[in-house]
Amino acid sequence: MYYSSGKWKDLDYRRLKRQVSELFPLSILKRKPISGWTIEVDGKIREIKIGENWDHKKFPVTFRTKVEFEKHTSQSIISLEIWTGGESLVRIDSIPFGEINEHHKFLDVTEFCDGQFHALEIESVPKGLFGTTNYTPSLERAFITAFDEEVLKSVIAFETVANLIESVDDDMKDKIYRIFMDSLGMIDVPSSTEDYASRSLDDEMMIDLMKEWEAPNFTPNMGVNLDLKVREEIINASRHLVESLGKVDGNVPFTIYAMGHSHIDYAWLWPLKETRRKIVRTFTNALRMMDKFPEFKFVQSSSAYYEDFKAREPELFEKIRSYVKDGRWEPIGGSVIEFDANLTSGESLARQFLYGQKFFEKEFGIRCKIGYLPDTFGFTWALPQIMKESGIDYFVTTKLVWSDKNIFPYSWFTWRGLDGSEVVTHLFTATEGYNSPLTPKDLKLGLDFHKEKHSDVPFSVLTFGYGDGGGGPTDDMMYRYKYIESLPGLPKLEVKRFHEVFENYRFKDLPVIDDELYLEFHRGTYTNQSIIKKLNREMENLLYTAEVLSAADYMSGGEYPYELLTDARMALARAQFHDVLPGSSIGEVYKEFGEMLYEQEQKIEKLISETL
């Protein structure tokens, strides 16, 4: 055993993962370099070679080439493996197809493998998902990489179970560990020095180790000529692993309903112009995954995001409309953005839902019934009344688990507002909150959280996908889903629309909270960046005055300035995002939104003076 005295240590789990990480390189069949690149910077185009740097101060930049996607065998997955130095949107034949970033390193392009040449275009920024700058970006690598699909899925099965061993209770660890080691022992991994060295750059844990010491100059693995006997061993071992675990008695009478998701902060460690690029990259990735995985479903809040996406990619927006109709893409929240719920006035909160619900009804023929503010820093006592009047019957959040003094007592409860209005409220959690990577550890945490809160509701929800800076789910998450949904020691996992889950369950006898929902965290955000707070309140007061005067003028025969007032309201709604108004964003954000509000303020002041 890897543990002593019956107690597992972090080192034990690391050893398990180390053994599994050696398998991934064996799934790579072939790497073919992509050449003939050009780069466009500020409208000027030049050739660029692999390894060549580009100016981090000028972005976005666009890389272009033509590439032949050879016809493939039914047992392979063909992917783009390209790193240009930061977040990237990939267009194939001029149509946005997917994204590349630190979590989406391989982009499946198998559907284009027709033996023909295709135009490849990559729009890149020298930024990480959290806004960090790469000061020396380069066209670091560019390959068409072929994976053995069965071997890759087998590796993911072993990775998933290694995480399961780390997650389950002690009485389950021994059983699962023995099955894991028996299955792993069925594989005779090629281990000569030459073989091992050639695979080192694709071994995730070796890459981590190389950061700690001056590693040899390993050459890239251009593909593994895997012996058919070893290939069969890997595939059979994973089958033995899954089948044996299926015989372990460890069913848990609890369900976690999951949907793909990406939390995209409308502005935070990056300005709004970058957010709009993040939206295109993230939504494009979600659409690609819907085409690839029939069981995949995606949930996304904020009408402003859809509006921005429609303005940039109207044809792809129609695909979203189609998937909404099919019940696979779920708008949620009913508001313009995921707003701050403390400094924002009651009227502005009502307008968030008025304009958000109006957009969703116009574009998709639906109104959201679930309010969704996973990252907002506490909630005013007036919110249940406003949500209820806006057609919202349920409310979902995660942030309250961050409180640093008092543990929030419930995972399910009825939240009663000032006027007595009530909404069923759910607090969920995972290893990364609303950014779950969809691992066994996430499910176990959700189950333990449910037990700790002593709730009688037999389910919870979970959103999976990389977020804050966008990105969303990965293909690996959906491959993991097929294994996780029936593993012992975990609750049942099912991808299902949240509205369907909530509407089909009869909630009763929930505990009641008749108060605000105060977050004991982020306290300083309500005094920071006073200028944006001043502009917000000035705009709220000016708009109230302008609307009253304009209504009176309309009653006297004048023309109501609907477009002008709506534009101002929408600018204000965007500025009330939960990282903008509280003051938790970078300086560039406040310059951008300050100028936006000041411009609208001038227009409204002019309207008021002309109406008087």
Instruction: Provide the CA 159 distance to its chain's centre, in angstroms.
Output: 21
Torsion region of 468: left, alpha or beta (phi above 0 gives left; psi -120 to 50 gives alpha): left
User: Is-contact 130 469, C-beta < 8 A?
Assistant: yes
Dihedral angle sign, alpha carbons of residues 518, 524, 530, 535: negative
User: Is-contact 494 258, C-beta < 8 A?
Assistant: yes
Residue among 308, 375, 442, 468 flagged as catalytic: 375
- Any residues with CB less than 8 A from the CB of 569 and at least 6 apart, and which? 351, 355, 543
User: Is-contact 444 166, C-beta < 8 A?
Assistant: no
Residue bearing tokens 């299926």: 246
DSSP run (H or E) holding 601:
helix 587-611
Instruction: Provide the CA 238 distance to its chain's centre, in angstroms.
Output: 29
Strands (E), 429-580: 459-464, 491-495, 512-513
Strands (E), 127-263: 141-148, 252-260
What's the rounded Cα separation, in Å, for the pair 396 and 550? 37
What's the rounded Cα separation, in Å, for the pair 77 and 71? 11
User: Is-contact 136 103, C-beta < 8 A?
Assistant: no
What's the rounded Cα separation, in Å, for the pair 240 and 555? 77
Query: Token pair for residue 275?
Result: 């957010």
What's the rounded Cα separation, in Å, for the pair 408 and 123? 44
Does 203 participate in catalysis according to the annotation?
no
Dihedral angle sign, alpha carbons of residues 196, 199, 201, 206: negative
- Any residues with CB less than 8 A from the CB of 139 and at least 6 apart, and which? 37, 39, 48, 49, 50, 51, 52, 54, 63, 83, 84, 85
Query: Token pair for residue 522?
Result: 């982020």
Roughly how many angstroms between the first and final C-alpha of the chain, as a whole number? 83
138: three-class secondary structure by DSSP: strand
Which amino acid is it at 404?
D
What's the rounded Cα separation, in Å, for the pair 584 and 525? 6
Torsion region of 302: left, alpha or beta (phi above 0 gives left; psi -120 to 50 gives alpha): left
Residue bearing tokens 């009253």: 548
Distances (CA, A) of 348 to 267, 367, 565: 19, 19, 13
Q: Could you give the residue numbers annotated as active site?
A: 375
